[in-house]
């Protein structure tokens, strides 16, 4: 007990602790600065290359690669910082690294799912299956891609929940953000309604729709009578839209057609 008390009361003991604490603080501070600077450099690099590169990279893919590079740099910097902290406490680094290689090999055989996730993550990114900002359906889960990591993909659902999916589990993807969408709108008219007059009124609305909504790429077309139901006639309208805007444009078309037809004495039939 006396030896312990003398050791604790020794000023050199506290000086040594303070020195190590300061060393650790400086390492973490330096790591934080390096990460912050590297993120700025990555952002500026992509902005600069955007104007000079010969190979075109879409904005969605650019966002994905930017986030991935930032994530990889963060992992590397913190790993180096961890090694430096161990060194500050007197651990022999080289034997530790050599031992980590052997342990890592042993863990690799027992962590095949982790390896599968990482390999799948690489293929997702480099094959451009989907990118940050895309609206996708993965294994029945729909949402906007928030982040693609080496191990997991994060989706934000329409109602705000975040879904985290291991990359190794992603076997099928439906990407709604690659190609233009089609807004398909069915208008129900009673058999008593003048279908020819209704189509003329609808044409008036569709004519100037592209000029008022940038999401509409061309004048929508009236396909004609789609079906003859027991109580009403179905007229189908198709509009080409920007990716992932077909639902919004469908609502706009329904609203404007209903108002136009009602104001001209034609009632839209409700099923």
Q: What is the pLDDT of residues 177-222, one digit of tens each?
A: 888 999 999 999 988 888 899 999 999 999 989 999 999 999 999 9
Query: Reduced to 3 states, what is the DSSP secondary structure of residue 166?
Result: strand
Q: What is the pLDDT of residues 43-70, one digit of tens each?
A: 787 666 555 554 445 666 677 777 777 7
Sign of CA dihedral 176, 248, 66, 85: negative
3.30.365.10, 3.30.70.100, 3.30.1360.20, 2.30.30.90: CATH of 181-263: 3.30.70.100
pLDDT for the residue numbered 54: 44
CATH class for the region spanning 122-175 = mainly beta
Surface-to-core class of residue 152, CB atoms within 10 Å of its CB (0-12 exposed, 13-18 middle, 19+ buried): middle
Residue % of the chain over a pLDDT of 90 = 30
Cβ-contact 125, 68 below 8 angstroms: yes
Q: Where along the chain do its domains lie?
A: 2-110, 122-175, 181-263
This prediction's pTM: 0.60
pLDDT for the residue numbered 267: 83
Q: Answer yes or no: CATH 1.10.287.1260 is held by domain 2-110.
A: yes
């Amino acid at each position: 007990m006396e030896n312990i008390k003398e050791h604790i009361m020794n000023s050199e003991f506290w000086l040594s602790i303070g020195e190590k604490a300061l060393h650790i603080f400086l390492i973490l501070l330096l790591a934080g600065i390096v990460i912050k600077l590297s993120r700025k450099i990555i952002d500026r690099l992509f902005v600069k290359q955007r104007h000079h590169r010969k190979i075109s990279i879409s904005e969605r893919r650019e966002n994905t690669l930017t986030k991935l590079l930032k994530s990889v740099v963060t992992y590397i910097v913190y790993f180096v910082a961890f090694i430096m902290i161990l060194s500050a406490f007197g651990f022999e680094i080289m034997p530790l690294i050599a031992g980590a290689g052997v342990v890592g090999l042993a863990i690799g055989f027992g962590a095949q799912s982790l390896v599968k996730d990482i390999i799948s993550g690489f293929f997702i990114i480099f094959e451009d299956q989907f990118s940050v900002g895309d609206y996708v359906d993965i294994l029945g889960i729909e949402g906007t891609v928030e982040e693609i990591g080496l191990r997991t993909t994060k989706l934000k659902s329409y109602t705000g929940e975040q879904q985290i999916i291991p990359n190794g589990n992603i076997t099928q993807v439906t990407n709604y953000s690659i190609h233009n969408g089609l807004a398909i709108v069915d208008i129900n008219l009673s058999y008593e309604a003048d279908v020819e007059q209704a189509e003329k009124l609808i044409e008036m609305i569709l004519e100037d729709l592209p000029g008022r909504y940038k999401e509409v790429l061309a004048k929508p077309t009236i396909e004609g009578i789609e079906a003859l139901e027991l109580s009403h006639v179905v007229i189908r309208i198709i509009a080409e839209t920007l990716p992932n805007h077909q639902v919004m444009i469908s609502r706009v078309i329904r609203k404007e057609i209903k108002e136009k037809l009602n104001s001209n004495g034609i009632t839209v039939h409700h099923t």
